[in-house]
Structure 1
Amino acid sequence: MTSVHTEDLPEQDIPEHYTAAHLRAEDVGMFAGEPDKDVRRSLRVGQVPMPELAPDEVLVAMMASAINYNTLWSATFEPLSTFGFLQKYAKQGRWESRHDQPYQVVGSDGAGVIVKVGDGVRRWQRGNHVLISPVQADDQDPVTHADAMISGQQRVWGFETNFGGLAEYAVVRASQLIPKPGHLSWEEAASMPLCNSTAYRMLVSERGARMKQGDVVLVWGAAGGLGVHAVQMVKNGGGIAVAVVGSERKAEVVRKLGADVVIDRREIGLGEGNGHDPAAVLAAGKRLGGLIRKHTGEDPHIAFDYVGQATFGTSVFVVRRGGVVVTCGSSTGYQHQYDNRYLWMKLNRVIGSHGANLQEQWEANRLAELGQVVPVLSGVYPLSEVGEAARLVQQNQHIGKVSVLCQAKEPGLGITDPAARARIGEARLRPLEG
């Protein structure tokens, strides 16, 4: 893989092929019957053809990207092979047909430099340093202009589309672009768009839980990619963060991020295997509720739940009357069971949330620009070792996010506003150090 200086990128010739982390259609089914679906076997790094650019798209030289769970789902071909998404998308027309290939370039986070713009692109030009929203929206769908996430044509880039971010180059729509905060390095910035904006929509947006000052917020998986951003959002918004984690090391990290109460999930006896057992859910809920009341004096207003099957029933049980359970995923399983009495009798709400629209993306990014929300990175890998980076996340051995250097030659590059970085402070920007 060839690394280049960012100041040279806007003028360089666009290559006919580029290096990318990708999946191959011929590998679908390779994990059938295997208990350990090791993504290092399916994630390939090699040359792929450079696609043609549509009029509303830009070509970004990717400096860095990051690992998300949707890349793991793609790489295990579960619950569905994402090649099916590409085939369905390709049926819509000429530009969409490019996405149906025998390979899929994956990756839904990224930071880089624009090197080419389509004829229909306004507001952006070559040389701009950008982050990439993971949401590909259709601006010609009327509902997009109310909320792009409601559109049936909304897709997750690098998961439901091709030409994603774990590569030397990425093809994105201009409506996915966000200005890169100048005080962050490439790998720090690349770790934020998906999780930071998802947490923002779940907690802060009028389409989410509408968290207000003083709200007690239960954050499951508080040391994960979504969790570390949720804890910061709660504290930044004047709430009381109750963080559930799985180890003392993770407890230390979320305390550093501002968690008011930290609970080890082993204290409540809730594991991945008993989310379907009503008695176990009730017992865990009583223990968790008791611990939360002991430390805060009240039940939570909001449960931030992306863990799913193992935790959802407990979330419904512990939130107060009139409380909210907001969910954006199910990392432990999609089939949730809960006691409906605790939903209807307490007049609670369940809100489904998915990604964030572009306005929410920009609002979440503004918090990063102000230093009010910071990246939490526990690993940085070269593109050649993307399989190892993904495996780390697959085995839940990470904290926060894991980034991948694409065209950036080493960590720490891309900082264009050192004064802002000095004002925010290295200790705050690197919460895992020490």
Structure 2
Amino acid sequence: MGDAVHPFLEAILESRPPDAIERLELPDEFVAAHLRAEDTDMFRDVEHKDVRTSLRVGPVPMPELAPDEVVVAVMASSINYNTVWSATFEPVPTFTFLRDYARQGGWAARHDRPFQVVGSDAAGVVVRTGSGVRRWRAGDHVVVHPVHVDEQEPLTHADAMLGVDMRAWGYETNYGGLAQFAVARASMLVPKPAHLTWEEAAVTPMCGSTAYRMLVGANGARMKQGDVVLVWGAAGGLGAYAVQLVKNGGGVPVGVVGSERKAEAARRLGCDIVVNRVEIGLSDDPDPSPEETVAAGKRLGSVIRRETGTDPHIVFEHVGQATFGISVFVAGRGGTVVTCGSSTGYRHEFDNRYLWMRLKRVVGSHGANLQEQSETNRLVSTGAIAPTLSALYPLTEAAEATRLVQNNGHVGKVGVLCLAPEPGLGVTDPETRARIGADRINPLREFAPASSL
């Protein structure tokens, strides 16, 4: 298996032409971070669910390629929180998603296997194209965004995120990005920003585009110049992109973080006002009482009004149960709470009077369609948005990287080198890289833990 991989890596490093890459034989197996269906119940009645015991790294079989798909030699990937959910088999085992998808029959049946290759980000090189792929060819440098849609579903043409068959790649499908090779639909690809390394390019697709849809796109909060935007987890995977988008759009980012280390990271990204959770008396309790919610909301609102002269116009919410009540409370009259996830729990409790009597809105947001992903990618390609890579691990340590995210010990995004033999490869536009500057491209690298590459 290892010997079969080397020809592709050699061809990529030597920038061989498309026909030379197409002549190489795909391996029958490849190394991937994956889960096993036999482990689904391993955490039943277990309080501390350590993803290092469920997430395996080893060989899996190469699937057959559908007409609308490509095989990508993955040079680098990254960890998203959905991989933590997958590896803890919560809130439901993701093998349930694979079985449901397989019931469609045809090519979908390949996804129901006793293993699941996880990972919802990837940067790499196209090495095979299906017979129906038109816009991509072998040798193209791409990033993969994780929105897996059915192009023949009517709603997809209005907004891919509304499609009933929309799935999160590497979470609700198989053959995701934490692997030497990945299988993706052609509609999931955008060009890799040429000035970035593989690992820098790999950390933006999911979180960067999700934040863009939430804040900037027509489907989200529609932020405008001057808006005060409260960003929970401002130094995390999503929040770090939200801060940059607010700052670039003429808004005022107000970040909430959990430590002084993360406060410094948020400032490095452009956060004008940073509030430590301790400062407002917000505990780590994922289910605060109504009294605690109002008290913390009043303290947070007081800080924001003192610093900006107004209540938040937008609250960027993805923490969920622990913070949602505060978000609804603290948003200004007529303001918007835009939410895309619930890492602390899905059941949200809030005082509806603050929503209804003060004319606030709650906007649900999920992922990003291809156009929104393309717009995000353009901002990255011009240097307007910087990758938020901090830590970097080899594929063999994917479980350790996921554990870091599970424990919220990371800043920004945690990258994983897959086929790339070392950091720093993949730059094809060194002039743009020099113009933007290394510090701007990597604002969070100094926040890497000692265990990182």
Give the structure-1-normalised TM-score: 0.99
- Measured after TM superposition, the shift of residue 274 of structure 1 is 6.1
The secondary structure found in structure 2 opposite 1:40 is: helix
Any residues of structure 2 matched to 1:204-353 within 5 Å, and which? 204-273=216-285, 275-353=287-365
The secondary structure found in structure 1 opposite 2:111 is: coil
Please give the alpha-carbon distance, in whole angstroms, between the structure 2 residues aligned to 1:118 and 1:12. Answer: 15
- Measured after TM superposition, the shift of residue 432 of structure 1 is 2.2
- Measured after TM superposition, the shift of residue 11 of structure 1 is 4.3
Please give the alpha-carbon distance, in whole angstroms, between the structure 2 residues aligned to 1:145 and 1:199. Answer: 21
Q: In structure 1, give the amino acid aligned to 2:121.
A: D
Please give the alpha-carbon distance, in whole angstroms, between the structure 2 residues aligned to 1:253 and 1:331. Answer: 21
Q: In structure 2, give the amino acid aligned to 1:271.
A: S
Q: In structure 2, give the amino acid aligned to 1:162.
A: N
Q: In structure 1, what is the equivalent of residue 151 of structure 2?
A: 139
**Would you identify which runs of 4 or more consecutive aligned residues in structure 1 move more than 4 Å?**
8-11
1:58 matches 2:70 = yes
Q: In structure 2, what is the equivalent of residue 412 of structure 1?
A: 424
1:387 matches 2:399 = yes
Q: In structure 2, give the amino acid aligned to 1:94.
A: G
- Measured after TM superposition, the shift of residue 239 of structure 1 is 0.2
The secondary structure found in structure 2 opposite 1:164 is: coil
**What percent of counterpart residues are identical?**
65
Contact 1:275 1:313 in 2 (8 A): no
Q: In structure 2, give the amino acid aligned to 1:419.
A: E
What is the Cα-based RMSD across aligned positions, in Å? 1.0
Please give the alpha-carbon distance, in whole angstroms, between the structure 2 residues aligned to 1:192 and 1:433. Answer: 15
Match of 2:414 among 367, 388, 402: 402
Please give the alpha-carbon distance, in whole angstroms, between the structure 2 residues aligned to 1:329 and 1:69. Answer: 10
Size of the alignment, in residue pairs? 434
- Measured after TM superposition, the shift of residue 189 of structure 1 is 0.4
Match of 1:356 among 368, 372, 379: 368
1:152 matches 2:153 = no
- Measured after TM superposition, the shift of residue 399 of structure 1 is 0.2
The secondary structure found in structure 2 opposite 1:422 is: helix
The secondary structure found in structure 2 opposite 1:288 is: helix
Q: In structure 2, what is the equivalent of residue 186 of structure 1?
A: 198
Q: In structure 2, what is the equivalent of residue 91 of structure 1?
A: 103
Contact 2:286 2:344 in 1 (8 A): no
- Measured after TM superposition, the shift of residue 204 of structure 1 is 0.3
Contact 2:390 2:445 in 1 (8 A): no
Q: In structure 2, give the amino acid aligned to 1:61.
A: A
Q: In structure 1, what is the equivalent of residue 449 of structure 2?
A: none
Please give the alpha-carbon distance, in whole angstroms, between the structure 2 residues aligned to 1:224 and 1:14. Answer: 37
Please give the alpha-carbon distance, in whole angstroms, between the structure 1 residues aligned to 2:186 and 2:173. Answer: 15
Q: In structure 2, give the amino acid aligned to 1:429.
A: I
Match of 1:100 among 100, 104, 112: 112
- Measured after TM superposition, the shift of residue 93 of structure 1 is 1.5
Please give the alpha-carbon distance, in whole angstroms, between the structure 2 residues aligned to 1:361 and 1:218. Answer: 23
Q: In structure 1, what is the equivalent of residue 175 of structure 2?
A: 163
- Measured after TM superposition, the shift of residue 253 of structure 1 is 1.0
1:374 matches 2:409 = no
Q: In structure 2, give the amino acid aligned to 1:244.
A: V
1:29 matches 2:53 = no
Match of 1:117 among 129, 140, 146: 129
Please give the alpha-carbon distance, in whole angstroms, between the structure 2 residues aligned to 1:251 and 1:292. Answer: 16
Give the structure-2-normalised TM-score: 0.94
Please give the alpha-carbon distance, in whole angstroms, between the structure 2 residues aligned to 1:348 and 1:320. Answer: 8
Match of 2:83 among 65, 68, 71: 71
- Measured after TM superposition, the shift of residue 10 of structure 1 is 4.8
1:44 matches 2:48 = no
The secondary structure found in structure 2 opposite 1:171 is: strand
Change (3 A) 1:433 1:108: closer
Deviations along 1:175-223, whole A, 9 cap, x unmatched? 0001000011001100110000000000001110000000000000001
- Measured after TM superposition, the shift of residue 343 of structure 1 is 0.1
Please give the alpha-carbon distance, in whole angstroms, between the structure 2 residues aligned to 1:67 and 1:274. Answer: 22
Unaligned runs of 5+ in 1: none
Stretch deviating more after TM superposition (152-161 or 370-379): 370-379
